[in-house]
């Protein structure tokens, strides 16, 4: 139902592209680069376990820009009901989005 989240690099001058890199989540939304901490944050409508987990939630993936490796996978979000915000503060490594049942704003650290 949700396509795999991927990223790849494209050279602006030659338009040559690297092979896609799987990010480990489904239905990627609102990728944002934190240039201060050299991180990529991406919201996913679902984690990779949503086919098997009846209580799976949306997730936020935090990735190192240099290596491409996932630094953290933050759970317990709901981006299906409302497409969440990508507000963040790179100086405190803090972000804000909607929490479960859209009842409150949820703060998270990365």
C-beta of residue 29 within 8 angstroms of C-beta of residue 83: yes
Per-domain residue ranges for the chain? 4-10+26-100
pLDDT, tens digit (0-9, with 9 covering 90-100), for 60-85 = 999 998 888 999 999 888 777 655 44
Write down the pLDDT at residue 84: 45
Cα distances from 11 to residues 14, 22, 66, 99, in angstroms, run 6, 19, 16, 37
Q: Which long-range contacts (CB under 8 A, 24 or more apart) does 16-25 make?
A: 21/68, 23/61, 23/63, 23/70, 24/48, 24/61, 24/70, 24/73, 25/59, 25/61, 25/73
**C-alpha to C-alpha distance for 11 and 5, rounded to whole angstroms:** 20
More confident residue, 82 or 1: 1
28-52 pLDDT, tens digit per residue, is 888 889 999 999 999 898 888 888 8
Residue 98 has a pLDDT of: 66
pTM across the whole model: 0.67
Residue 17: band (very low, low, confident or very high) from pLDDT cuts 50, 70, 90: very high
């Amino acid at each position: 139902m949700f396509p795999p989240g991927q990223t790849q690099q494209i050279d602006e001058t030659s338009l040559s592209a690297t092979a896609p890199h799987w990010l480990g989540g489904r239905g990627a939304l609102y990728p944002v680069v934190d240039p201060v901490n050299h991180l990529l944050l991406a919201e996913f409508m679902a984690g990779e376990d949503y086919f098997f987990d009846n209580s799976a939630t949306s997730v936020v993936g935090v990735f190192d820009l240099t290596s491409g490796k996932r630094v953290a996978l933050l759970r317990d979000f709901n981006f299906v009901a409302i497409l969440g915000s990508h507000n963040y503060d790179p100086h405190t490594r803090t972000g804000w989005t909607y929490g479960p049942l859209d009842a409150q704003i949820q703060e998270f650290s990365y």
